[in-house]
């Protein structure tokens, strides 16, 4: 059936092993197929996965006529009771045989780590009261201001299409930041047209966004590029995730 993994012929056979015994599973001498614990474990695992259930006696099952085992299965799975009914693959008819079988099996235990209690979040909702004044639809860019490194920075474009937070080099110098504060970034940025842009580096700065009392203070990483742009900064998806924020263009929020 292709569901049993046959081991390679690489077992070390003791010189004192019985050379008259042959295991058709390992294809080696030293023990016979009925004594093969590796095969027993594989069969037990297959039973747990749902195979061969028709040959396993369930507790409380009514006696029925004799069933013939399929070919190529070891006899130890087919120990029969007095009624010649197939019993479970527990290794034998007597209690001693079953205890011996259970000691030979490898029993794995799957333990899942306890999950931490999820923090309850406040729902974010918008209504018509939050709509901006003026004609709709309003499809202008969402441009905000926020405090970065104790300075208010204007003309910050919020763009959920950007995979990084971009700070233009002119804004970096106006914040009075030294160039040695930049950390090297080896991966270039790819623009909308597919052109690659080498970065000046990355910097992590404290930011505060929002209006009191609804403000958020976090440390945010920016990728600094030496290009000319109408905006000072582009807030991408990393910033939105860190701030746990969403964009609703209709409400300009």
| Residue 124 included in any domain | no
Distance of alpha carbon 221 from alpha carbon 244, whole angstroms: 15
Q: What is the mean pLDDT of each run of 10 residues along the chain (253 residues)?
A: 65 70 80 82 81 70 49 43 44 67 60 68 76 73 90 92 92 94 87 79 93 88 92 93 81 62
Distance of alpha carbon 137 from alpha carbon 153, whole angstroms: 27
pLDDT of 86 reads: 42
Residues 100 and 145 in one domain: no
pLDDT of 83 reads: 42
pLDDT of 222 reads: 95
pLDDT of 77 reads: 43
pLDDT of 170 reads: 94
| Residue 122 included in any domain | no
Residues 234 and 172 in one domain: yes
Domain coverage including residue 85: 18-59+66-104
Of the three residues 80, 104, 128, the one that is the final residue of a domain is: 104
Q: What is the dihedral of CA 130, 134, 136, 137, to 10 degrees?
A: -90
Residue holding tokens 């309850």?
Answer: 120
Residues 96 and 145 in one domain: no
pLDDT of 84 reads: 40
Q: Tally the domains of the chain.
A: 2
**What CATH number did the domain enclosing 144 receive?**
2.40.70.10
Residues 143 and 98 in one domain: no
Residues 160 and 232 in one domain: yes
Residues 149 and 200 in one domain: yes
pLDDT of 45 reads: 82
| Residue 111 included in any domain | no
What predicted TM-score, i.e. pTM, was given to this entire model?
Answer: 0.49
């Amino acid at each position: 059936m292709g569901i049993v993994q046959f081991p390679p012929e690489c077992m070390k056979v003791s010189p004192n092993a019985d050379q008259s015994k042959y295991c058709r599973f390992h294809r080696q001498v030293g023990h016979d197929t009925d004594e093969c614990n590796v095969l027993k474990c594989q069969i037990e695992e297959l039973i747990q996965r749902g195979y061969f259930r028709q040959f396993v006696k369930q507790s409380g099952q009514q006696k029925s006529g004799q069933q013939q085992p399929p070919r190529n299965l070891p006899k130890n799975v087919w120990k029969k009771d007095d009624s010649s009914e197939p019993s479970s693959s527990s290794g034998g008819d007597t209690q001693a045989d079953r205890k011996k079988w259970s000691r030979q099996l490898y029993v794995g235990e799957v333990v899942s780590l306890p999950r931490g209690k999820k923090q309850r979040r406040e729902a974010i909702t918008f209504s018509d009261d939050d709509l901006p004044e003026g004609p709709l639809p309003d499809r202008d860019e969402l441009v905000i201001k926020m405090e970065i490194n104790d300075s208010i920075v204007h003309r910050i474009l919020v763009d959920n299409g950007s995979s990084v937070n971009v700070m233009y080099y002119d804004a970096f110098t106006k914040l009075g930041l030294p160039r040695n504060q930049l950390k090297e970034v080896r991966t270039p940025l790819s623009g909308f047209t597919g052109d690659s842009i080498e970065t000046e580096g990355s910097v992590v700065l404290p930011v505060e966004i929002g209006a009191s009392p609804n403000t958020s203070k976090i440390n945010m990483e920016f990728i600094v590029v030496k290009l000319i742009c109408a905006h000072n900064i582009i807030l991408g998806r990393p910033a939105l995730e860190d701030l746990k924020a969403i964009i609703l263009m209709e409400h300009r929020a």
